[in-house]
Amino acid sequence: MAGLNLTGIEGKVAVVTGAGRMKSIGRSIAVELAKAGADVVITGTGRPPERYPDDEKAAGWRDIASVAEEIEAEGRRALPLVSDSGDENSVQELLDATLAEFGRVDFVVNNAGAARGPDRVPVVDMPIDAWDTVIRVNLRGPFLMSKVFGQQLIDAGNGGVIINISSIAGKVLGPNMAAYVASKAGLQGMTGGMAREIGKHGVRVNAICPGLVDTSRMADVFDDPDFAARASMIPIGRAGLGEDIGWATVYLCSDQGSWITGQSINVCGGNAVAH
């Protein structure tokens, strides 16, 4: 008896923002979509090599160019582009380039996220520009991507899927994270609202809310001597991998996920319910 076979991704075109880091959620999402049969547009910020972490330098990593090679190794086409999802003109250029290369777009994954920085302080101590940066990347960016690409999905008339990469932080509300929490909670709200607006066009909108995932941006957390105690609070007993988020993304894009929309789904090893 045959088991579950995910369908509806082969030959489709996906756009994944923020996919250039070697140890990242975005890279895993892009590669897993390629393995499932999609051609993939990947974006990055155009980081100069001197800003690469040591593991990327040692591996000869080349940001989105390296991810493009991985996609092509799966037999799919890749289009790596430097893009700023917080800028409306840049987003329109991204759509234009996608259509020029592939003639269509089916899946949009809003993954680009702001780096942790001066926003990780109490609200009363937070620099206003730190707040603005987080909101611009984590909420304005997905809004612009959803607005511009969502209209394209409506106009094309073939349905489609928008997935916003949020966080369980938008639900569990940790201290010294107000800007991040607000951006991720806002992203969940936008997901539900847009799903109601656009569902009649056959377009589904969902958010994935990762917990603690082992990525380069979280390296300091994983290197902390207290990390083992923190990880022990996760019911599954381990931190997440980028592939965990990639697999969830593939399912939500597939035909088998076609009755799921407007949801903010925790993919966190049970961490959210352990708080």
Whether the pLDDT of residue 52 is over 90: the answer is: yes
**Tens digit of pLDDT for each residue in 101-127?**
999 999 999 999 998 889 999 999 999
Tell me, yes or no, whether 220 lies in a domain.
no
- Centre a 10 Å sphere on the Cβ of residue 77 and count the other Cβ atoms it contains: 15
- Centre a 10 Å sphere on the Cβ of residue 31 and count the other Cβ atoms it contains: 23
What percent of the chain shows pLDDT beyond 90?
Answer: 86
Token pair belonging to 84: 């700023």
Tell me, yes or no, whether 5 lies in a domain.
no
Question: Among 56-70, 188-202, 232-246, whose mean pLDDT is lowest?
Answer: 232-246
Tell me, yes or no, whether 1 lies in a domain.
no
Instruction: Please answer whether residues 209 and 264 qualify as being in contact, where contact means their C-beta atoms are separated by less than 8 angstroms.
Output: yes
Q: What is the pLDDT of residue 220?
A: 67
Q: What is the pLDDT of residue 2?
A: 64
Tell me, yes or no, whether 65 lies in a domain.
yes
Q: For 257, which DSSP code? A: G
Whether the pLDDT of residue 181 is over 80: the answer is: yes
Q: What is the pLDDT of residue 1?
A: 58
What percent of the chain shows pLDDT beyond 70?
Answer: 97
Tell me, yes or no, whether 216 lies in a domain.
no
**pTM reported for the whole predicted model:** 0.95
**Domain limits for position 132:** 13-210+241-266
Phi, psi for 20 (deg, rounded to 5): -95, -20
| Beta pairing partners, 39 | 13
Which of 179, 180, 253, 267 is the catalytic position?
180
- Where does residue 211 fall: left (phi above 0), alpha (psi -120 to 50 degrees), or beta otherwise? beta
Q: pLDDT band at residue 219, thresholds of 50, 70 and 90?
A: low
Q: What is the CATH number of the domain that holds 35?
A: 3.40.50.720
The angle formed by the CA atoms of residues 145, 64 and 41, to the nearest 5 degrees, is: 40
What mean pLDDT is predicted for residues 169-176?
91
Tell me, yes or no, whether 102 lies in a domain.
yes
Tell me, yes or no, whether 233 lies in a domain.
no
Residue for token pair 């999609």: 38
Residue 52 bears catalytic tag: no
Whether the pLDDT of residue 215 is over 90: the answer is: no
Tell me, yes or no, whether 218 lies in a domain.
no
d(CA 168, CA 174): 10
**Tens digit of pLDDT for each residue in 130-143?**
999 999 999 999 99
Closest CA relative to residue 167, chosen from 93, 272, 260: 272
Give the chain's domain count: 1
Q: What is the pLDDT of residue 63?
A: 97
Question: Among 27-31, 32-36, 266-270, whose mean pLDDT is lowest?
Answer: 266-270
What mean pLDDT is predicted for residues 63-79?
99
